[in-house]
Amino acid sequence: MLVSNPNEDPIYVEIRVKGQQRWQGTIEPLYNVTPTFPGVMGGPVEVRAWISETDPQSGQQKKLEPALVFASQRVLWNGYFNEIVGKGL
């Protein structure tokens, strides 16, 4: 996966594969992350993003509003590279 934050604010992101959460974290403005899931096949792959802030009492991310995100699924298999760009819903 490649996930990029094109926003001016940090975003909180969750990535799910076949409905199971595989990654979560915060991406700073104009930064990328490349989480990997070795051995995981199939889909769908869902990337959800929110403008967020940290709750001072719990330390948890508080989801404020949906955020724009750029995501692509990258596969390296048997010496071949394939990339599929995500589509917004």
Per-residue pLDDT tens digits for 8-37: 999 999 999 999 999 999 999 999 999 999
pLDDT (tens digit per residue) in 32-72: 999 999 988 888 999 999 998 888 888 887 888 999 999 99
What are the residue boundaries of the structural domains of the chain, listed by start?
2-85
Contact 11, 63 (CB under 8 A): no
Q: Is the pTM of this model over 0.85?
A: no
pLDDT-derived band at 88 (thresholds 50, 70, 90) equals confident
CA–CA dist 33, 7 (Å, integer): 14
Contact 70, 19 (CB under 8 A): no
